[in-house]
Amino acid sequence: MKITEHIQKAKGKTLFSFEVIPPKKGNSIEELYKNIDPLMEFQPPFIDVTTSREEYYYIEHPNGLLEKKLTRMRPGTVGICAAIQHKYKVDTVPHVLCGGFSKEETEYLLVDCFYLGIDNVMALRGDAMKEQRYFQPTSGGHTYASDLVTQIHNLNKGVYLNGIAADQKADFCIGVAGYPEKHLEAPSLASDLQRLKEKIECGADYVVTQMFFDNQKYFEFVDKARQMGINVPIIPGIKPIAIKKHLNLLSQAFKIDFPEALIKAVEACKNNNEVKQVGIEWAVQQSKELKAAGVPVLHYYSMGKSDNIVKVISEVF
């Protein structure tokens, strides 16, 4: 079922969802299931599965020389989505990227999703590779998420690449990313919101936000989006912080601000167990306020670990 249908069916009740990361190549899927299992009790209508683009790694040869190779360390997003749908009877949302994929490869991936009964996809640009300063489109790939949304929307009209038309139309519900504190490369929040509007005009059906730690930022973002005529559901993304380093890592990676009260509480912690507890309490307060404000879904970034999400959810739902 489509995410938008789940939201309509809930009739104003806030739903709960979360996102998982595929295991590293060669690792078992069982670890992933162990993290999903305790969350299923709370009946999420859908689970997102992230995608990672290719990255460089080095092989050391006996003569001491290093060979540089390119690979995707966490492949299998669509396969994992199918496995989760089969095992838990829950909808899944594979993340589809511009970076690292040609349009042709993306079409094959979408055809797989269509055959597997995956009704939703999250269309994202992806980030620059670690070695690059700025995002560079992959040869034969898209430059912006809006181009990817257009490709998916075309499949929904039965239009494949190279002008091939088909009777069987796909029917994907398309999610896109939104940034309450603006995307790190955007020159202003206003211009970033304009880009978000373009993604909706290209065919996106809903938005999931980047993590934020101050709900006011989300509320203002939604107000501004509505004033601009963006009327699709805007789902807040929540991340309970778990280690002291998150304060610097997350603000550096995503250019997000932490409220002073949260910084003080984390800095006062003697170890990461205490930080985890602070992160849970902060996420509970955030979630309760957002739920009271009637957000359609509370979406949690699990980053591969679910114990803290379980604690948050049990207090909120």
Q: Single out the residue of 2, 103, 195, 244 in contact with ligand FAD (rule: CB under 6 A).
A: 195
Q: How far is the CB of 126 from ligand FAD (least distance, A)?
A: 4
* Contact status: 237 vs ligand FAD (CB under 6 A): yes
Residue 127 interacts with ligand FAD (CB under 6 A)?
A: yes
Distance CA 60, CA 146 (A): 40
Least Å from the CB of residue 19 to ligand FAD: 7
Stretch that binds ligand FAD, among 67-75, 107-115, 139-147, 271-279 (CB under 6 A): 139-147
244-281 burial: b if 16+ Cβ within 10 Å, else e? bebbeebeeeeebebeeebeebbeebeeeeebbbbbbb
DSSP states of 62-104: TTS-EEEEEE-SS--HHHHHHHHHHHH--EEEEEEESTT--HH
- The amino acid present at 172, given as its one-letter code, is F
Shortest Å distance, C-beta 179 to ligand FAD:
7
Length of the chain: 317
Q: Quick check: 303 binds ligand FAD (CB under 6 A)?
A: no
Under the criterion CB under 6 A, does residue 149 sit at the interface with ligand FAD?
A: no
Q: Is 72 in the site for ligand FAD (CB under 6 A)?
A: no
Cα(72)–Cα(226) distance, integer angstroms: 38
Applying CB under 6 A, which part among 105-113, 144-152, 157-165, 220-228 lies near ligand FAD? 144-152
Q: Is 97 in the site for ligand FAD (CB under 6 A)?
A: yes
Residues in contact with ligand FAD, counted by CB under 6 A, come to a total of 23
Give the one residue of 126, 141, 279, 296 binding ligand FAD; rule: CB under 6 A. Answer: 126
Going 217 to 287 to 48 to 24, the CA torsion angle's sign is positive
The answer to whether the CB of 58 falls within 8 A of the CB of 66 is yes
Given the complex with ligand FAD, which of 207 and 275 has the nearer CB atom? 207
Task: Output 77 or 275, the one with its CB closest to ligand FAD.
Answer: 77
Extended beta strands in the chain, E state: 15-20, 46-49, 55-60, 66-71, 91-97, 120-124, 173-178, 206-211, 234-238, 297-301
Nearest 5°: CA angle at 93, between 88 and 95?
135
- 106 lies in the binding site for ligand FAD (CB under 6 A): no
The correct pick among 32, 78, 82, 95 for binding ligand FAD (CB under 6 A) is: 95
Alpha-carbon Rg for the chain, nearest whole angstrom, is 20
Q: Does 124 bind ligand FAD (CB under 6 A)?
A: yes
Is residue 219 involved in binding ligand FAD (CB under 6 A)? no
List the structure tokens of 16.
Answer: 């709960």
Residue 203 sits in the site that holds ligand FAD (CB under 6 A)? no
94, β-bridge pairs: 49
Of 177 and 250, nearer to ligand FAD (C-beta) is: 177
Q: Which residues are at the interface with ligand FAD (CB under 6 A)?
A: 50-53, 95, 97, 124-127, 144-146, 177, 183, 185-186, 192, 195, 199, 208, 210, 237
